[in-house]
Structure 1
Amino acid sequence: MPTVTLRPLEADLLAANMRRHDVAGPRYTSYPTADRFVEAHQALQHLQALAQRGAGQPLSVYVHIPFCEQLCYYCACNKIITRHHERAAPYLATLAVEMDLVAQALGGHAPVSQLHLGGGSPTFLCEAELDALMAALRRHFRLLPGAELSIEVDPRTVDGGRLAHLKALGFNRLSFGVQDFDPAVQKSVHRVQPFESVAALMRSARELGFASVSVDLIYGLPLQTPASFARTIAQVAELRPDRIAMYAYAHLPQRFKPQRRIVAELLPPAGDKLAMLSGAISALLGEGYTYIGMDHFALPDDALAVAKRQGRLHRNFQGYSTQPDCDLIGLGVSAISRVGATHAQNAKTLAEYEDALNQRQLPVQRGLALTRDDLLRRAVIMALMCQGRVEFESIAASYLVDVPGYFAPEFERLAQLAVQGLVTMEPGAIQVTPLGWYFVRAVAMVFDRYLQADASRERFSKII
């Protein structure tokens, strides 16, 4: 299948389209999106989906560790701020109960090709706790040789010795939360971590032989300017991470209480935010990075960039992935699973999560059984997000529909994007253009039935 080949674009053309498409919309780590889950879908439905699936095909597993020592003001994650590390032990014991229930429902030690620890801060756990967690995972699941084992790392909580311990546990991919290197910006969001300390960790990770090291950045934070963010991008490029994830800050203090500590007057204006993004894209392309899609960059020889070129890119609740499209088991408070044609999300509070598992019940609080229309639209949206192309013949064969007829209203909206140069309409396919790849969320939104029926998009961040 052909894939989009990106090239540096004229700054004025990119900026003009950024202004046009600076609207709110989903990130499409799933379709339907999690805000469409219903409380009628509970533990019983999830157990049935697990039992029907069985333990045959490889799984992706996500484990949520909610604890952080310090509050970052921009954060919209499900987390628990505490310096009491003793709170981790009972949580890990409860996690082991959930693993046991899931393994029983699957009917055996299911093979796992991808494991990701997120949070919160997984490195809140001490070495003995990480040992216990990995031992529990290996008891209940079969981590395959060559499996992708990744962990999110707060640079303030580790040193070279701790990285060596993570490597010994089998982790082969690290993700450092950096956000910005400007000292004033770091102070304004309560996350101070000097460039020199992150650089030292990057050197240690390289020496230890981690297969991939990625860095997370955020643009649109208080006190950021196009010039200051350009300096951060230059420093990141100097570190040469294998992957870079660069997210737009969404200021939603009415939904996320920590953001109420951010002084809104210090946030950069929309024009500066767009300049940060366009400048960063140009700089990273100039440094030889490949634009993977929707906020993600990778070095050309990284597995993610190779998968992009070969049309093997996939997407799940953790973002872009090289793993074949497979079911995802989410473990821990607020974690989301995707099993077959169902989604299930665990309780969002620690008390509710632990209460369910103390009764040896799965802590599922809401979810969704996908309809035929959901599955069809998911296939189209994921093809757009991952390959930048939808082949009508393959969709028609899988779902027995006449694609142009079924999506007639959507094709009318696509015609407007075609005029803007974001897509081309071929006789048997939709092709995202090199320019359109930067706005692939806007293209995918055309096929979101829920979004088109719901005029309110306040629950979502801006797509730029």
Structure 2
Amino acid sequence: MCFSLINKYNVAGPRYTSYPTVPYWNQDLFSLQLWKEQLIKAFKESNQTEGISLYIHLPFCESLCTFCGCNKRITKRHEVEQPYINALLKEWNLYCNLFDEKPIIKELHLGGGTPTFFSTENLTLLINGLKAKADLATNYEFSFEGHPNNTTKAHLQTLYNLGFRRVSFGVQDYNPIVQKAIHRVQPFNNVKRVTEQARAIGYTSVGHDIIFGLPFQTEAHVTETINKTKALLPDRIAFYSYAHVPWIKGNGQRGFKDSDLPSANSKQKQYQLGKELLANAGYEDIGMDHFALPSDQLYKASKTETMHRNFMGYTASKTKVMIGLGVSSISDSWYAFAQNEKSLEAYYQHIEKDIIPVFRGHILSKEDLIIRQHILNLMCHFKTSWINNGLYFEEIPEVITKLKEMQEDGLVNIELNQIFITEKGKPFVRNICMAFDLLLQRNKPETQLFSMTI
């Protein structure tokens, strides 16, 4: 990888789990009533054909990992579990009351925080409570994020019995110095244990999350981590750049100095090395930061171009409706986004008053919907086209002009009415998407809102 390209394109940019990105949501044109109307519209259009997705945010963690940018509440008091489960089920009931038929759940994902903070009894109460108000699609997929240190065999068996077949474990890095810096000390044997237990129980997809660009991390550390990962051969791997955003996350990302972080060039070396090691181990590059074995469902979805990207990350299929339950969760009706209260106290206050706990959102315009589709195409399939008139927009010539330099650098191929990202351009997919981001172009931020793209 040419380091001049790294220096050239290493700028702050969105990860595009949505378009428009959250800082560009127009809250003046948003209301809870409008959100309900757009959600009901999308539900009626798609429930019987696609089903819906559910994301459940479980925010509690027993200790603070300093690399983490998620919304969490640090506590060792497990009596917080049941009141939170009760609030989640009440929120789900508020949503179900909006619909004139039972939701059909296609996907359900438990994220956090630490979902395995919760006892098996409370997780059973949650999942059975959600199921009681819904039907399941014939090919539904339930997944959860597990912490290798506190995910027990009982967790894995209980969730499997409830319908879960996919689990991802946060590995980050196996080096003790790096683990200490990010306050995430977990021995390889813990990851090995939960991975092997999940497989023995019958999980069909086990994933590992690995991060590069962490404090004190070197290429040797990345090699060590991936070599150990190869020994366990998880079905899919998220290999992504550490997002250093302490101005957003406060003290949670202040456990080390900026000078302890690898340079942009070092990070790119770590990425290239990791990508080569994963390819040598049989993993395919299927999307930004994601790799999978050819036997995994996400790889197959990438080949059939049915892979989708939303606030849960990459998924093997698309649903128009994704409802987020829990503090800080984001919902998506395709036509609108809505985010729940970030404060646990404010979330509870809304639930107690029988109010869906949304505090901000965005109603997508016709232009937003077109740009969103282009960015999804680039993120999921490394190409996009406006041959279909429905995806043409007036600023296309300006976008092409912005991409000309990237074409000269070998990152994209621009053909008649379509764009293809080259193999060389895949690490720069966020930069390429930024050329389509009209809201970002029209109102460039005066302060840094996003992590660096490299």
TM-score (norm: length of structure 1): 0.93
Instruction: Check if 1:146 corresponds to 2:139.
Output: yes
2: distance between equivalents of 1:38 and 1:86? 38
C-alpha distance in 2 between matches for 1:310 and 1:216: 24
Distance change >3 Å, CA 79–CA 234, structure 1 → 2: same
Structure 1: gaps (5+ residues): 1-11
Select the residue among 248, 254, 259 that pairs with 2:253. Answer: 259
Cα distance per residue 1:7-33 (max 9 Å; x no partner): xxxxx44x5533432221111111101
Q: Which stretch of structure 1 is more off in the superposition, 50-59 or 303-312?
A: 50-59
- Answer whether contact 2:110 2:143 (CA < 8 A) is retained: yes
Point out the more displaced range, 347-356 or 18-27.
Answer: 18-27
Q: How does 1:284-303 map to 2 (within 5 A)?
A: 284-303=278-297
Q: Distance in 2 between the 1:180 and 1:388 partners?
A: 28
1:367-390 deviation line (CA, Å, top 9, x unaligned): 011111111111111111112222
Structure 1 contact 224–267 (Cα < 8 Å) conserved? yes
Alignment RMSD (CA, Å)? 1.6
Q: 1:92 aligns with which of 85, 91, 105?
A: 85
The aligned residue for residue 458 of structure 1 is 448
Q: Is 1:376 matched with 2:370?
A: yes
Q: Which amino acid aligns with 2:116?
A: T
Does 2:315 correspond to 1:321? Answer: yes
1:83 Cα shift?
Answer: 0.4
Q: CA deviation at 1:266?
A: 2.3
Q: For 2:450, what is the secondary structure of its paired residue? A: coil
Matched, 1:355 2:349: yes
Post-superposition offset of 1:243: 0.7
State whether structure 2 residue 10 is matched by structure 1 residue 22: yes
The residue that corresponds to 2:151 in the other structure is 158
The equivalent of 1:8 in structure 2 is none
SS at match of 2:387: helix
Counterpart CA distance in 2 for 1:50 and 1:424 is: 37
Corresponding residue for residue 4 of structure 1: none
Which residue of 207, 211, 227 corresponds with 2:200? 207
Matched letter for residue 459 of structure 1: L
1:45 paired residue among 34, 58, 61: 34
8 A Cα contact 1:123 1:158, kept in partner: yes
Q: Is the 8 A contact 1:50 1:106 kept in 2?
A: no
Deviation at 1:324, TM superposition (A): 2.5
Q: How far apart are residue 259 of structure 1 and its match?
A: 1.1
Partner of 1:239: 232
Verify: 1:35 aligned to 2:17, yes or no: no
Match of 2:265 in 1: 271
**1:75-124 deviation line (CA, Å, top 9, x unaligned):** 11000000011111111111111101100112231101111010101111
Cα shift readout 1:379-426 (whole Å, capped 9, x = no counterpart): 1111111122222222x1x35x4x5x5411111111111111111111
In the alignment, which residue of structure 1 is the partner of 2:414?
Answer: 425
How many residue pairs get aligned? The number is: 447
Contact 1:19 1:274 in 2 (8 A): no
CA distance in 2, matches of 1:261, 1:132: 36
Q: Does 1:60 align with 2:60?
A: no
Conserved? CA contact 1:113–1:323, under 8 Å: no
1:80 aligns with 2:69: no
Q: Is 1:190 matched up with 2:183? A: yes
Q: How does 1:361-400 map to 2 (within 5 A)?
A: 361-394=355-388, 396=389, 398-399=390-391
How far 1:433 sits from its partner (Å)?
1.4
